[in-house]
């Protein structure tokens, strides 16, 4: 009863029991996986699970063997040989073989799911038996990029809370944490060359409560604010800890620094970066999109080149995010200095100015040996470098356009995998925002648009779910929004349709067992019956939408990137 569903699972006869005499053998490449498995088993079972002798044979009795396959393993449709694994359980022992250490780790995740759910507890709760049914599992992922985006700007999450999320993702074979670190409402990463980014930009004086509501004058405004300062940031050592912890669990942390819009926190710290440096702004206390944007001066581009240099020095990820979404043009269009800059650069309009700024920063990232990625608005303006990767969030139109233009694509359509959206039409749903997006909707997610050729489909490297946190102000609400939808996401991205047509009833049956694992992990997931009383947020204004209204809006705002 594995989640995600494996490509091949063949039952055997009998079971293997973990006892005081059980040992773990590992080759050099799998040593970190051995430590992970030992820590997990020792905590929950209370058993010693000691190291086997270095020369122990993979088939030694009462041994869990962790090894990289010298002959390799078949790759999944996403081309990942490193993440493929084979798990063989017999009454005599367990063999986990991976295409690389990552594959061994995912084989261990399958092994843990085959044990009683209490194996996920941090302390011993019983005496066992700790048995694994005999079987053979062979598996590999459908997509190389299997991600979750975590917004720590709207509501900050401590380092310990981020590590907890990484553990949750790793248990579901999610291999990418897209870390949204800057926005209008805060700046969360220490940049040593520019200390005011965190000294000033990491705190706001209060926060909006609920969604915007329509006033009698036809204008959308916040109904209320909480009156409490909010903030925090990660030192560079904090981020090194997060990156190293994630790497031990084969999760890549990919940073995102927003430009040229969603930058009000940066402008509060350094007003000279803005179009109107003589008009100071504060870190924004509202949700939504502020009109404030970067100016297009060389000094501002150089400032963000410096920022990205420190980000690149911290994060070893191949990809570095530069934002590019929801950039208002009103300040550029009304500012004489910006209009002169557009003319001097030989550009046609503010749309092309945004593309020019993105191009300058993307080129700098790529000059440092990394790949720039941004939201699908970076397709606008028509000058995006072929090496840039597009995150398609406004439906899948951006994915289609980008793939046809030869860009790699990460699909994250808001109407399928935005994990901040409400989960039912129930009046007591705590996050009453936008369309209803339940577990079944996420389960059906396919990152690949239907109308692509085989060559174009190869550019879709995967997908992710996005966890925006305007309305998620503590870790309990974060659990509620993430789970069990992340379990459905993991199946959509790992299994896809490789093991046969998707079967919602089959998934639902396996999910029943998986909820016991989430319970043992301490995850306060959303129950099928709806929120418990303590998960509700009475009196918080909402703004529900229908799928038809949302689709019409997306069609309108993406019309200029079709093709």
Instruction: Indicate which residues carry an active-site annotation.
Output: 183, 262, 326
User: Parallel, antiparallel, or unpaired: how do β-strands 389-392 and 409-411 relate?
Assistant: parallel
Residue whose C-alpha is closest to residue 290's, from 353, 204, 171: 204
Rounded CA gap, 133 and 111, in Å?
A: 10
Cβ(522)–Cβ(190) under 8 Å? no
68-to-27, 355, 477 alpha-carbon distances in Å: 7, 45, 39
Other Cβ atoms within 10 Å of 389 Cβ, number: 21
406-to-85, 290, 399, 458, 557 alpha-carbon distances in Å: 31, 32, 11, 10, 22
Structure token pair of residue 407: 């860009």
CB neighbour list of residue 161: distance below 8 Å, 6 or more residues apart? 475, 478
What burial letters (b/e) apply to 88-117, b meaning 16+ CB within 10 Å?
bbbeebbbbbbbbbbbbbbbbbbbbbbbbb
Render 126-194 in DSSP notation, one character per residue.
Answer: ----EEEEEEEEEE--S-SEEEEEEE-SSS---HHHHHHHHHHHHHTT--EEEEE-EETTEE-B--TT-
Render 505-555 in DSSP notation, one character per residue.
Answer: HHHHHHHHHHHHHHHHHT--PPPTT---GGG--TT---EE--HHHHHHHHH
């Amino acid at each position: 009863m594995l989640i995600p569903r494996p490509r091949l699972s063949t039952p055997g006869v009998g079971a293997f029991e973990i006892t005081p005499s059980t040992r773990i053998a590992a080759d050099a490449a799998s040593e970190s996986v051995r430590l992970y498995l030992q820590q997990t088993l020792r905590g929950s079972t209370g058993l010693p699970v000691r190291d086997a002798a270095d020369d122990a044979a993979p088939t030694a009795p009462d041994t869990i063997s962790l090894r990289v396959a010298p002959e390799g393993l078949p790759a999944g449709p996403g081309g990942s040989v490193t993440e493929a694994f084979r798990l063989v359980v017999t009454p005599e022992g367990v063999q986990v073989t991976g295409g690389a250490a990552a594959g061994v780790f995912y084989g261990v995740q399958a092994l843990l799911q085959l044990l009683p759910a209490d194996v996920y507890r941090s302390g011993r709760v019983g005496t066992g038996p700790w048995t694994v049914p005999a079987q053979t599992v062979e598996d590999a992922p459908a997509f190389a990029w299997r991600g979750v985006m975590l917004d720590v700007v709207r509501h900050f999450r401590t380092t310990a809370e981020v590590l907890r999320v990484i553990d949750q993702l790793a248990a579901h074979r999610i291999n990418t944490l897209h870390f949204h670190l800057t926005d209008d409402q805060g700046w969360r990463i220490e940049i040593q060359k520019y200390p005011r980014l965190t000294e000033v930009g990491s705190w706001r004086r209060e926060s909006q409560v609920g969604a915007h509501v329509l006033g009698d004058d036809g204008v959308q405004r916040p109904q209320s604010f909480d009156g409490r300062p909010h903030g925090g940031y990660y030192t560079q050592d904090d981020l090194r800890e997060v990156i190293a912890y994630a790497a031990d669990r084969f999760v890549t942390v990919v940073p995102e620094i927003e430009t040229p819009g969603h930058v009000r926190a940066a402008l509060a710290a350094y007003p000279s970066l803005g179009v109107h440096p003589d008009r100071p702004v504060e870190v924004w206390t509202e949700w939504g999109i502020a009109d404030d944007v970067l100016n297009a001066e060389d000094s501002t581009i150089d400032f963000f080149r410096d920022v990205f240099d420190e980000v690149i020095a911290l994060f070893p990820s191949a990809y570095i995010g530069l934002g590019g979404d929801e950039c208002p043009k009103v300040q550029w269009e009304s500012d004489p200095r910006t209009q002169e800059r557009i003319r001097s650069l030989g550009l046609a309009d503010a749309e092309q100015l945004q593309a020019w700024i993105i191009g300058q920063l993307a080129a700098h990232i790529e000059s440092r040996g990394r790949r720039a990625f941004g939201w699908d608005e970076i397709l606008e303006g028509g000058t995006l470098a072929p090496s840039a990767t597009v995150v398609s969030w406004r439906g899948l139109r951006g994915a289609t356009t980008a793939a046809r233009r030869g860009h790699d694509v990460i699909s994250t359509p808001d109407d399928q995998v935005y994990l901040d959206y409400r989960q039912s039409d129930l009046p007591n749903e705590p996050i009453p925002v936008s369309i209803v997006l339940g577990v079944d909707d996420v389960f059906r997610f396919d990152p690949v648009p239907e109308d692509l050729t085989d060559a174009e489909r190869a550019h879709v490297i995967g997908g992710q779910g996005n966890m925006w946190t305007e309305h998620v102000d503590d870790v309990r609400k974060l659990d509620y929004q993430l789970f069990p939808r992340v379990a459905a996401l993991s199946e959509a991205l790992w299994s896809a349709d490789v093991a046969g047509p998707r079967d919602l009833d089959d998934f639902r049956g396996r999910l029943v067992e998986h909820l016991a694992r989430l319970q043992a992990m301490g995850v306060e997931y959303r129950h099928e019956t709806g929120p418990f009383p303590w998960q509700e947020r009475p009196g918080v204004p909402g703004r529900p939408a229908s799928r038809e209204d949302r689709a019409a809006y997306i069609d309108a705002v993406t019309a200029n990137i079709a093709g």
